[in-house]
Amino acid sequence: MSPTADPRRAQAQLGDRSLFASLDARAYLNHAAISPVSDPVRARVAELLDDYARLGAGAFPAWHRQRCELKLLLAELLGAGAEQLALISNTTRGVTDIALCLPWRAGDRVAVFRGEFPGNVTPWQRAAELFDLELLMLEAEAYRHEPDGALRQLEQALRAGLRLVAVSSVQFQTGLRMPLEQIGALCRHYGAELFVDAIQSCGAVPVDVVAWQADYVTCGSHKFLMGLEGAAFLYVHPNRAAALRPHVAGWLSHEDAERFLCEGPGHLRYDRPFRKRADMFEGGTGTAVGFAALGASVELILQLGVERIYAHANRYLDLLEPPLIARGFRSLRCPDPQRRSCILSLDPPADINVVDLRRRLLERGVACAIPDGKLRFAPHWPNGLGEVAFVIDAVDQSLQVMRSQAATRTS
Ligand SMILES: Cc1ncc(COP(=O)(O)O)c(C=O)c1O
C-alpha cells in the first residue's frame, strides 16, 4: 500500500482534503463548531474497536499506553508537561472541575466576560452560588475596539481584588484572539489566577501556556483539534494542583488507584491519598474512542505545525473577507493581525436573514455557522485557497435568490 492509501501512515498537506474522502460539503468552514473526521482518525478508531472486539479487557493496556502518549502530544501542542494534563470529557467539565475545586473564600471575586460561550460562565455562576463568590462581568468586545483601555479596566478590577479571571483564548462569536500574554502578566502581578478556555485555539492558533502564565487551560477535541465529541483535556499549573480540593474526586483520583485490580488480595482501600496533580480529575473511566481519535488528529496537526496551519487559514480568510465586505457584509475580524484567529465572523447585510442564508449556503455546499446571528467561517488545514471563489459564488447565488423572493413577496 502507498503511504497515502494507508490512512495509518497518512501525510497531511496544507490545502489538501484528500484525507477527508467522505466529506460532503465542498467548502467545509465549520471547524469552530465540529470538525469532520479524517480518514486517519477513522482508521485509528476502527483499530481500537477491532482490538476491543477481539480482546475485551485484553485491549486495555495498549490503549492505556495510547492515552499516555496522547498526553505527550498535547503537552507539545501547549508547551506544557504531560503530567500537568488530565484527559476529561469536555471543555465545560474542565471549567466545572476547577470552579468546584478551588479553595474559595466567601466573598472572592471572579471576572468573566460578556460575549463568552456560556460553558465558561455557567460553572462560575454555580460556584458563586455555592461558595458565596462575587462575579464581575467584563466586556470581551472592548478588546477588539480598544485593547489598551480594556486592559486598563481589567487592571482596575485586579487592583480592587480579583481571585480569578476566566476567559476564552479566542471568542467563539467574533473570532477575537484575546491578548493572553498581557492578561496573564496582569493576573500574575496582582496575585489572581488565570483560567483559559482554549477550544477555539488549540490545533489552529498557537497556544503557549507558559507565555500566557495560565493556571488552568481546558479544551475539547471536536473543533480545531479535529477529534470527536466527548474527549477533552484540562491543564493545571503544577503550583496550583496541591491546593485544589477533591470535590469532584472519583475512584481514579487516588494515588495507586488501580492496585487492587491486578496485584492480588489486600489492596482494596478507600483511604489512599488523592493525587496532587492534574490527573486527580480523571475520576473514572474515560472515552477510549474519543482519545484514540484525538491521538490520530493531533499527530496530523503536529506534522503540519500549528504556526503553518494558522498562517494558511489566515491566507484563506484574507481572500474571503474583502469580497464579502464588497457585498455589504460587516466584518468583525480584528484590524490588528495579532488578535486574529482562524475565524471570520460577519454581520450580513440588513435585508438578509442569517438563518436563511446559512441554510442556503449549506444547500450549495458551504458549511458555516451562525453563533448568535453572526455568519461564521472557520477554515482549517485541509481547506484549499481555490475554494474561496466557490464560496463567494454560493453567497452571490444565495443573496440573489433571497432578494428576488423578498421582492416577489412585497410586489
Ligand atoms: C469557547 C467555547 N467554549 C466551550 C464550548 C463548548 O465546549 P464543550 O461542549 O466541550 O464543553 C464551545 C463550543 O461549542 C466554545 O465555543
pLDDT digits (tens, 9 = 90+) for 249-296: 999 999 999 999 999 999 999 999 999 999 999 999 999 999 999 999
Nearest Cα residue to atom 14 of ligand 1: 33
Q: Distance (Å, rounded) from C-alpha 120 to C-alpha 91? A: 9
Q: What is the mean pLDDT of residues 347-360?
A: 98
Cβ of residue 120 lying under 6 Å from some atom of ligand 1: yes
- DSSP three-state, residue 335: coil
pLDDT tens per residue, range 198-234: 999 999 999 999 999 999 999 999 999 999 999 999 9
- DSSP labels, 367-409: E-B-GGG-EEEB--TT--TTHHHHHHHHHHHHHHHHHHHHHHH
Residue of 91, 178, 200 best suited for mutating to test ligand 1, as the one with most atoms within 8 Å of CB: 91
Whether 99 has a pLDDT exceeding 70, the answer reads yes
Q: DSSP code of 297? A: H
Instruction: Tell the residue nearest (CA) to atom 4 of ligand 1.
Output: 119
Question: If you write DSSP's letter for every residue of 215-254 in order, what string do you get?
Answer: SEEEEESSSTT---TT-EEEEE-HHHHTT---TT--GGGB
Ranges of beta strands (E only) in 250-389 are 330-331, 344-347, 366-367, 375-377
Considering only CA atoms, which residue is closest to atom 12 of ligand 1?
A: 117
Q: Does 8 score more than 90 pLDDT?
A: no
Judging by DSSP bridges, how do beta strands 27-28 and 366-367 pair with one another? parallel
- Grid cell of 48 as nine digits: 481500537
Among 88, 92, 98, 116, the mutation site with the greatest number of ligand 1 atoms within 8 A of its Cβ is: 92
Ligand 1: atom nearest CA of 95 is 11
Q: Assess whether pLDDT exceeds 70 at residue 246.
A: yes
Q: Which helix (H) or strand (E) holds 65?
A: helix 60-78
Task: Assign 167 to helix, strand or coil.
Answer: strand
Q: Is 35 in the pocket of ligand 1 (CB under 6 A)?
A: no
Cell 492578561 belongs to 183
Q: Answer yes or no: are the C-beta atoms of 197 and 167 closer than 8 Å.
A: yes
What is the CA(223)–ligand 1 centre distance, in A? 9
The answer to whether the predicted template modeling score (pTM) of the entire model surpasses 0.85 is yes
Sheet containing strand 193-197, edge to edge, reads 85-88, 232-236, 216-220, 193-197, 164-168, 109-114, 134-139
Cell reading at 162: 480579583
Average pLDDT on 163-184 reads 98
- Rounded to 5 degrees, what are φ and ψ at 196? -125, 125
For ligand 1, what atom is nearest to the CA of residue 32? 16
Listed residue (117, 119, 174) closest to 143, CA to CA: 174
- Please give the single-letter amino acid code of residue 162: L
Instruction: Report the percentage of the chain scoring pLDDT > 70.
Output: 98
* Cβ within 8 Å of residue 211, ≥6 positions away: 79, 180, 181, 184
Q: How many CB atoms lie within 10 A of CB 191?
A: 10
Q: What are φ and ψ of residue 84, in 5° steps?
A: -90, 5
How does pLDDT run across 100-138, given as a tens digit for each residue? Answer: 999 999 999 999 999 999 999 999 999 999 999 999 999
Q: What are the grid coordinates assigned to 90, written together?
A: 469536555
Q: What pLDDT, in 10s, does the model give residues 69-80? A: 999 999 999 999
211/202 Cα distance (integer angstroms): 15
- How much distance in Å is there from the Cα of 161 to the middle of ligand 1? 28
Yes or no: say if 31 and 70 are a contact pair by the CB < 8 Å rule. no
Helix, strand, coil share (%) of the chain residues, nearest 5: 50, 15, 40
Element (H, E) at 52: helix 39-55
Q: Are 27 and 365 in contact (CB under 8 A)?
A: yes
List of long-range contacts for 125-132, beta carbons under 8 Å, 24+ apart: 126/96, 126/99, 126/100, 127/99, 127/100, 127/102, 130/100, 131/104, 131/106, 132/104, 132/106, 132/107
User: 206 CA distance to ligand 1 centroid (A)?
Assistant: 18
Distance of CA 224 from the midpoint of ligand 1 (Å): 11
Confidence (pLDDT) at 5: 55
DSSP run (H or E) holding 196: strand 193-197
Query: Is residue 221 lining ligand 1, measured as CB closer than 6 Å?
Result: no
Test site for ligand 1: of 168, 197, 207, 233, most ligand atoms within 8 A of the Cβ:
197
pLDDT band at 298 (very low <50, low <70, confident <90, very high): very high
Q: How far apart are CA 347 and CA 330, in angstroms?
A: 5
